[in-house]
Amino acid sequence: MQLLRAHSLTEAYLYLRVTPCPDCSGGPWQVQDQPAATADAPPQPPPGRALRARCQQCGARREFVLEGVEPPAGGLAPGPAEVINPTPAASEIIDLGQWVSLFYLLVGSADRAADKAETRRLTFQAAQCLDEALKFYAGDDELPPPSAFFVESSRQAFAEHPEKFARQRLRDLRGKLPDHRVMARHLARDANRKERKRWWPFWKS
Ligand SMILES: [Zn+2]
């Protein structure tokens, strides 16, 4: 069992995405007991704060207990428009290097997504990963402090390519994506559309 001080379920899920399995150094983790959501059957996860995950490479199981997150009534599945971290404080579980990696991972997935709603959902998360990365910089500093890196792979990435972690570079990347509120509005509209689709058959019968 591992305690996870996350600001949201989305942050916990992203943590599982970038954290390797201690048994095989591989992964990724897959959250268990979360049947795939469909339009007719929203997920019915177990109650409580424990995220049970299984390593997709070696099959190891691990339980991550959420601290600081009040799970929504619907259970332990993050909503599409969930804000990763509404506070100005930097993450305690995902470091600067990992947020930057997540940004590239998510924009890549957004590019390949099958429909526009999914592209918007992933782009919203990608933009927030940059917002989270930018929370690690102090004052007017152009480079992050050493404390912004929690894991060896990030420290190494910074030592090899400090220019990739220049604050202005991250700000420029963020500037190419839409404003937070604009994206959230679009996502709300997408969710609304899905909701209407779900109820349509009832109207017809
Ligand atoms: Zn493993």
Sequence spans of domains, the chain? 1-36+48-79, 89-205
| Gap from CA of 28 to ligand 1 centroid (Å) | 8
Which residues have a Cβ under 8 Å from the Cβ of 2 and sit 6 or more positions away? 62, 63, 64, 65
Residue range 6-17, pLDDT digits in tens? 999 999 999 999
Q: What is the pLDDT of residue 33?
A: 64
| Gap from CA of 27 to ligand 1 centroid (Å) | 5
| Gap from CA of 19 to ligand 1 centroid (Å) | 11
Q: What is the pLDDT of residue 157?
A: 97
Q: What is the pLDDT of residue 11?
A: 95
Q: What is the pLDDT of residue 45?
A: 42
**Cα–Cα distance, 102 to 18 (Å, whole number):** 8
Ranges of the chain with pLDDT below 50: 35-37, 42-46, 205
Strand partners, 2: 64
Q: Residue 55 in contact with residue 44, Cβ under 8 Å?
A: no
Q: What is the pLDDT of residue 202?
A: 54
Q: What is the pLDDT of residue 46?
A: 46
| Gap from CA of 133 to ligand 1 centroid (Å) | 27
Q: What is the pLDDT of residue 73?
A: 64
| Gap from CA of 60 to ligand 1 centroid (Å) | 5
| Gap from CA of 64 to ligand 1 centroid (Å) | 15
Q: Regarding beta strands 61-67 and 2-5, do their DSSP bridges make them parallel or antiparallel, or are they unpaired?
A: parallel
Instruction: Enter the pTM of the model.
Output: 0.85
Q: What is the pLDDT of residue 204?
A: 53
Residues with CB under 5 A from ligand 1 (ion): 21, 23-24, 55, 57-58, 60
Q: What is the pLDDT of residue 181?
A: 85
| Gap from CA of 99 to ligand 1 centroid (Å) | 22
| Gap from CA of 121 to ligand 1 centroid (Å) | 28
| Gap from CA of 62 to ligand 1 centroid (Å) | 10
**Cα–Cα distance, 146 to 96 (Å, whole number):** 10
| Gap from CA of 32 to ligand 1 centroid (Å) | 15
| Gap from CA of 1 to ligand 1 centroid (Å) | 15
Which residues have a Cβ under 8 Å from the Cβ of 20 and sit 6 or more positions away? 26, 27
| Gap from CA of 25 to ligand 1 centroid (Å) | 6
